[in-house]
Structure 1
Amino acid sequence: MYEALLVLHNLVRWLVLLFGVWALLQPGPRPGALFAHILTLQVVLGVVLAFLSPLFQGALAALDQVMRTPGEARYFVAEHWVGGLLALGLAHGGLAQARKGKPLARLLFGLALLVLLLSIPWFRPLFRL
């Protein structure tokens, strides 16, 4: 089940980026809603993966040591999920602005996309099947 969710999380990443670019280029309610909601799905998948991941669970058990040592475990325990949650808040803020027809939506979608790009583990395989 863990591997299947990891593959799904990986594939949804590309949808998030695609809808994020669309929301950035056309910051309206429809592109914004698709971006925010597919990102919500991505974050939920990530939270479920965190509970199932042996890497994450092992890192939590030795949290003090993990936080002192830069590497993959620290990245997933401290940085990856924080970036995802921050981007989720920015995307939903952008959606609220887009529904009101305010130009701030583009900025919020752009910031969400930037945070996502910085939070993606590019050192992992781009496609996991």
Structure 2
Amino acid sequence: MHEALLFLHNLVRWLVLAFGLWALVRPEPRPGAFFAHALTLQVVLGVLLAFASPLFQGALAALEATLQTPGEARYFVAEHWVGGLVALGLAHAGLGQARKGKSRARLLFALALLLLLLSIPWFRPLLRL
């Protein structure tokens, strides 16, 4: 189960980035909806993955020690999912602005995409096959 969720989470990452670029280039409701909803799917997969991941569960068990020690466990327990949730909020706010025809949509999509790029674990394999 863990490996399947990890594969899906990794695959959807690329869809989210592609839709994010599309929404950045064309800050309209359709591209914004694809970006925001793909990111929602990514966050749901991430939450499911957290419950199935031995790394995340072990780090949660030793939460205080994990947060004081920089490394992979701290990254996934503290920074990775927080960046994803904040980016999700920004993407949905951008979608709302795009539906109203406001120019702020591009800024919100750009901030969401930037935060996602900072939250992706680039030290992990880019494709899991």
Provide TM-score, normalisation by structure 2: 1.00
Letter aligned with residue 33 of structure 1: A
- 1:4-19 alignment, distance < 5 Å: 4-19=4-19
Letter aligned with residue 5 of structure 1: L
**RMSD between aligned alpha carbons?**
0.3
Q: Corresponding residue for 1:88?
A: 88
Question: Could you tell me how far 1:45 is from its partner in structure 2?
Answer: 0.1
Question: Could you tell me how far 1:25 is from its partner in structure 2?
Answer: 0.3
Q: Corresponding residue for 1:120?
A: 120
Question: Could you tell me how far 1:75 is from its partner in structure 2?
Answer: 0.0
Q: Corresponding residue for 2:46?
A: 46
SS at match of 1:81: helix
Any stretches of 5+ residues in structure 1 without a counterpart?
none
Letter aligned with residue 91 of structure 1: A
Question: Could you tell me how far 1:42 is from its partner in structure 2?
Answer: 0.1
Q: Corresponding residue for 1:99?
A: 99
Aligned residues: 129
CA deviations over 1:36-60 (Å, ceiling 9, x no partner):
0000000000000000100000000
Residue 31, structure 1, aligned to residue 31, structure 2:
yes
**Where has structure 1 moved over 2 Å in runs of 4 or more?**
none
Question: Could you tell me how far 1:31 is from its partner in structure 2?
Answer: 0.0
SS at match of 2:8: helix
Identity fraction in percent? 81
SS at match of 2:127: coil
Any stretches of 5+ residues in structure 2 without a counterpart?
none
